[in-house]
Chains A and B, each alone.
Chain A
Amino acid sequence: MNKNVNIKSIIIDKPLKLDCGQTINNFPLAYETYGALNEKKDNAILVFHALTGDQFVSGINPITKKDGWWSYAVGPNKAIDTNKYFIICANVIGGCLGSFGPSNTNSETNKVYGTTFPIITINDMVNAQNNLLDFFQIEKLFAVMGGSMGGMQVLQFISNFPDRAKIAIPIACTSSHSAQNIAFNELGRQSIMADTNWINGDYANQNKTPDKGLSVARMAAHITYLSKNGLQEKFGRKLQERDDLKFGFDADFQIESYLRHQGSVFVDRFDANSYLYITRAMDYFDLTKEYGGNLSKAFEKTKTKFLVISFTSDWLYPTSENKEIVIALNAIGADVAFVEIESDKGHDSFLLDVPEFLNTLNDYINNSYLTI
């Protein structure tokens, strides 16, 4: 990871009691902003990133030199228009792009934390990020939004801070991580831990990196972000730069080569221990249980206007799980809209160029801004 890039961050001196019992303080929270905060400070949108995202939502990511993870949606004249709105996005704690995470050095031991870093939850992530509102002196955000783990943070944020956002847009997410999703995350973690370079998480102190394990974790996860139809249409049984099968274990098929590529570029930008910590946070997420089995109770105190969005081909966070959020909100008469967008791009739909999604998002945001 390139440490020379200028990463904005705040130091949070207020002690934060984590769900695991430990308290952290004086820790960094890295963030990026886009657009400008207006005088009334009523145009701020807090965007939450997903598992492998970061604070670089739009424009060119200074680390990867590629487009920011939500470039299709966020930017000048885009669905979330940076000419109108002030976008804030923080790297989650537990992450590896400047926020307090397992790749940080423990000042007491002078060693990289690795797996001595405390376990982080979605609740801890949003509690840390709430400090950004104080930093920017924003009383109330116009909106909070995010997809996948970002959507979970939206739900947790509103439940923790019912008065701090006018609208909330959780996309392709869930209120309670399913067994299937825990299973996929466990697969990824075991793959990392099976790499001999992981060394019980101490690899950074021994100048090693469990690249193979992390790469396989990414490959497996990547499949879950796509759909069967999407894969079939894009790759089918097409061969990779060869006319016939080679009767070996090279990447004969394009899909194999594609996944290997996804794995190999991922290890250049992501820390293996962060992958363990963040997937764990997702697995532990169960807002329904937090409220005694009644998800509606999580939102009883809020007047926030919700828009829940799911995608037809998303089998990781299927429409049925998104609808549970809608049902819980309707049960208490909350203001909730819901649409399921037709797309064959799977869970990744929210990150991609899906015009129906982007147009609906754009119009909803702009109309809500005018009427709220």
Chain B
Amino acid sequence: MKQEFKIISDFIEKNTRVLDVGCGDGTLMEYLKTNKEIDIRGIEISKSNSQKCVSKGLTVIEGDAEKDLTQFPDSSFDFVILSQTLQAFLNPEIVIQELLRVGKKAIVTVPNFGFWKVRLHLLIKGTMPITKNLPDEWYNTPNLHMCTIKDFYNFCHDRKIKLDKALALHNEKTSPINEINLNIKNLSAELGIFLIEK
């Protein structure tokens, strides 16, 4: 999903400190490093992915974001990125709180469970949806807390989290999400990309 990376990169200003939470094998970190003059760090739970990152010379610590974000001081990063990982946490609410404590701003991308193909899969087939973005079966998916764009939008609204930017991504095309088109975007987009702050 190159388009997602490009949007994340556009959100981030030059000469900033950035933390990629759940940085995987470091693909996004490398992309941002080459495209932006930033100081970027990562945290990753998987051993093999952490080793891949470190092998690339990236500053990544192996750790569990649900426990290990506590070691970073308040506002120690300008941006904290959480790319398509929120749904995999045991307690996404606490993770969002931590992101907004550690980072001045957070960029959160959410695979949209409200996307029409997902809804149709469940409606027609009656089994848990499997799509390009959600490739796993119900019994082996790492996703514990799937949500929709609308869910996340409301989540932020209820907690008075500022939505600086909200974008819907579909077929590599982006469009803004707002109060009025929320229901439409919630149906038509595969991914929601949010820039949030306290």
Q: Which A positions have Cβ atoms within 8 angstroms of B? A: 305, 307, 326-327, 330-331, 333, 335-342, 356, 359-360, 363-364, 367-368, 370-371
Chain A residue nearest to B41 in the complex (CB): A335
Q: How far is the CB of A66 from chain B (nearest CB, A)?
A: 30
Contacts of A337 in B (CB 8 A): 53-54, 58-61
Looking at the complex, which of B68-76, B109-117, B175-183 is the stretch in contact with chain A? B68-76
Query: Given the complex of chains A and B, what is the CA–CA distance between A176 and B186 in angstroms?
Result: 53
Q: Is the CB of A363 within 8 A of B61?
A: no
Q: What's the nearest-Cβ distance from chain B to residue A356, in Å?
A: 6
Known: A330-B72, A339-B50. A367 touches B60 (CB 8 A): no
Nearest Cβ in chain A — how far from B166, in angstroms? 30
- Judge if B47 is at the interface, Cβ distance under 8 Å: yes
CB–CB B57/A368 < 8 A? yes
B198: CB under 8 A from chain A?
A: no
Alpha-carbon separation in the docked complex, A340 to B68 (Å): 14
CB-CB under 8 A from A360, the residues of chain B are: 51, 54-55
Question: Which residues of chain B have C-beta atoms less than 8 A from A371's C-beta?
Answer: 57
A331-B73, A356-B51, A360-B51 as given contacts; A338 in contact with B56, CB under 8 Å? no
> Would you call B129 an interface residue if the criterion is a C-beta within 8 Å of the partner chain's C-beta atoms?
no
Q: Write out the residue numbers on chain B whose beta carbons fall within 8 Å of the beta carbon of A368.
A: 57
Complex A-B: 24 CB contacts under 8 Å: A330-B71, A331-B71, A331-B73, A333-B73, A335-B41, A335-B59, A336-B61, A337-B58, A337-B59, A337-B61, A338-B60, A339-B47, A339-B51, A339-B54, A341-B47, A341-B51, A359-B51, A360-B55, A363-B54, A363-B55, A363-B56, A363-B57, A367-B57, A371-B57
Q: Which residues of B contact A370 (CB under 8 A)?
A: 57
B66 CB-CB contact with A under 8 Å: no
C-beta contact mask, B78-118 vs A, less than 8 Å → 1, else 0? 00000000000000000000000000000000000000000
Q: Are A338 and B61 touching (Cβ within 8 A)?
A: yes
Given contacts A339-B47, A339-B50, A339-B51, A367 and B56 within 8 Å (CB-CB): yes
Q: Are the CB atoms of B62 and A338 closer together than 8 Å? A: yes
- How far does the alpha carbon of A344 sit from the alpha carbon of B54 in the complex, in Å? 21
A182 vs B56: C-alpha distance when bound (angstroms): 37
Smallest Cβ distance from B95 to chain A, in angstroms? 17
Q: Looking across the interface, which residue of chain B has its beta carbon closest to that of A365?
A: B57
Instruction: List chain A residues, Cβ under 8 A from B72.
Output: 330-331
What are the 9 tightest A-B residue pairs by CB atom distance, in nearest-first order?
A: A367-B57, A363-B55, A338-B61, A327-B71, A330-B71, A337-B59, A360-B51, A337-B54, A339-B62
Report B60 CB to chain A, min CB distance, Å. 5
Residue pair B54, A342 in contact (C-beta under 8 Å): no
Q: Give Cα distance in the complex from A337 to B58, angstroms.
A: 7
CB-CB under 8 A from B50, the residues of chain A are 338-339
Please indicate the chain B residues that have their CB under 8 angstroms from the CB of A340 in the complex. 47, 62
B54 with A364: CB separation less than 8 A:
yes
Q: Is the CB–CB distance between B55 and A367 below 8 Å?
A: yes
Encode B39-51 as 1/0 by CB contact (under 8 A) with A. Answer: 1010000010011
Residues of A within 8 Å of B57, CB to CB, are: 363-364, 367-368, 370-371
Q: Which residues of B contact A305 (CB under 8 A)?
A: 59
Q: Which residue of B lies closest to A327 (CB)?
A: B71
* Nearest-Cβ distance from residue B80 to partner chain A, whole angstroms: 13
Tell me if A333 and B76 are in contact (CB < 8 A): yes
A341 vs B62: C-alpha distance in the bound complex, in angstroms? 10
Smallest CB gap from A310: residue in B: B62
* Chain B residues positioned under 8 Å from A359 (CB to CB): 51, 55
